Structure formats: structure tokens, C-alpha cells
Amino acid sequence: MNRLLQMAHELWLATLMGSFMAKDGENKRLLNEFSDIFYRHHNWIENDLFSKNIEYDYNRDNIPIKVDKLSVLLRNIIDRINQIELALCVCDDKELKARIEHDFEYIKYTLQNMPDEDINAFNMQRKYKNIELSQEATDALTLFLFEESYKEYELIMIYNYLKVHSSDCFINRIFDIMIQESFFHLRSFGEMMAEMGILGVPRVIHKSLYQVEDVVKFLKDGIEEEIGAKEQCKELSDAVAKDSVELAKFFDFINYQESYHIDLMKQALEYYTKKVADE
């Protein structure tokens, strides 16, 4: 079951990366939707492990995605699905097994009939749309996207792990919002990276980051990290403002979203602090 979880994780992430690199249109929409389904598969397998008190982690193998044709990645995704289908024999939840198998049947059919397209997500041109950025602004944007795409992936996995291990409705509501927000940011940054030809898979997260023992400390550190992210957004907005109003406004938009994240984390911190005190 641990290996099954890892395979589901890798399938989800490979498909998500595919949705970033595909051009706007039906291919992108379908890959985005399928990645959401694979993410749910991962979570259902994880919940099954948790319910059986089986220890697990989010370790995974490298996920090669550097292709020049979408069809190459699609074949890789189908191969991953086939491997998971064989591994599903270890899943004794018959309804879950049947659900995943039926999802796979349709998704494989759709992927096999998806029109091919050229992929430019790895050409290293570092050009975003037709916007002319200075070298300084380009370097700042490149560094920001690499750092923040990893951070958002990290936060998805951390909050997901904490949510699975909590039965508290108030806290899980906050964790769920943070997961959804991080997905939006990850998709936004990932699509920008693909447009600039610098797309990369986020590195593996060490289990010490999500197997949190002191949630109060985690939330305090997280608030400081979000404050830092706000400052980075403001600096980046200022760096690109003279070259692109569009990009400056986008990073201001992200900056203001981080403000609400800080407020949510403060609510969670106050709740946890009181809960610890009451105990």
C-alpha cells in the first residue's frame, strides 16, 4: 500500500506538470481535471493507510517530464496508470479499487485519443508572453518562480498530511482553504514557468517538514514565511512594474492573497494555543 501511494503521488504530479506544459485549450483542461482526480485517488489511498494505522510518507522517485511532444508524456502517464492497475491488487477496499479502475479506463481512452502538440516548456528562453523584461527583472522572476512553485507544492503536501491526521472540523476547514489556495498559486506559477521554458518538477519533500510534532511552532514559522512571501511579491512587483503593468498587478494580486493566508494561520494558531492550554 505504501508503494501504491507513492505511485499515485507520481502519477498525479506527472499529470499536473503535463497540464502546465500543454497549450491553452482542451488538452490543458482535460489534463488539469485528470490531475485533480489523481490527487483525490492519492488522498483516498492515504486515508485508507491512516485508517489502518499503517505508517507512510510522501517519498517518491524522480519524475522525468522533459519532452518535446505531448504524446511522449501521455504515453508515460498511461504506463504509470498500467503499473498502478497491477498494484491495485493490494487494496482490499473493493469500492475504492473499483472507483480507481473505472476512472483509469476512461482516462486512458481519452489520453490515447488526445491530439499531439509541440512542447516549448523546456526551451530556456525565459520570455513570458510578448513582455520585454530587463535582465534584472527576468532573473528575479525566474528565481521567484522556482522558489515559490516548490513552496506551494510543499504546503499542499504539509496541509494535506495535517488534515488527514486531524479530526477537528475548524482546523481542517483552514487546512482545506490553504490547500486550495496553494493549488491555485502552484498552477499559476507552473504555467508561467512553462511559458518561459523553465518548467521543473518540485523536489521531494523531507518527511520532517510534514510530519509535524509541534503544530503551534509550525504555524508560527508559517506566518513568518507568509510574511516573507508577501515581501518577495512586493519586490517582484516593483522589479517588473516598469516593464509590465500586467505582471506587476498579478504579483500584487498574489501579495494580497498572502495577507488572508496569514490571517487564517493566525486563527489556527490562536485555536491551537488555546487547545494546548486547556489540555
pLDDT level of residue 14 (50, 70, 90 thresholds):
very high
CATH of 1-119, one of 2.30.30, 1.20.1260, 1.10.287, 1.10.40: 1.20.1260
Q: Read off the pLDDT of residues 233-256 as tens digits, 9 standing for 90 and up.
A: 888 888 888 888 999 899 899 989
Mean of pLDDT values over 146-161: 95
Contact between 40 and 85 (Cβ < 8 Å):
no
pLDDT, mean over the chain? 93
Q: What is the CATH number of domain 121-279?
A: 1.20.1260.10
Mean of pLDDT values over 57-78: 96
Give the pLDDT confidence score for residue 232 in this predicted structure: 85
Mean of pLDDT values over 162-171: 93
Give the pLDDT confidence score for residue 279 in this predicted structure: 66
Question: What is the spatial distance between Cα 175 and Cα 236, in angstroms, rounded to a whole number?
Answer: 27
* Amino acid (one-letter) located at 19: S
Give the pLDDT confidence score for residue 82 in this predicted structure: 97
Give the pLDDT confidence score for residue 73 in this predicted structure: 97
Mean of pLDDT values over 206-217: 91
Give the pLDDT confidence score for residue 226 in this predicted structure: 87
Mean of pLDDT values over 37-62: 95
Start and end residues for every CATH 1.20.1260.10 domain found in the chain: 121-279
Would you say residue 74 has pLDDT above 70? Answer: yes
Mean of pLDDT values over 134-145: 91
pLDDT level of residue 96 (50, 70, 90 thresholds):
very high
Residue with C-alpha cell 501504491? Answer: 4
Mean of pLDDT values over 167-177: 94
Would you say residue 84 has pLDDT above 90? Answer: yes
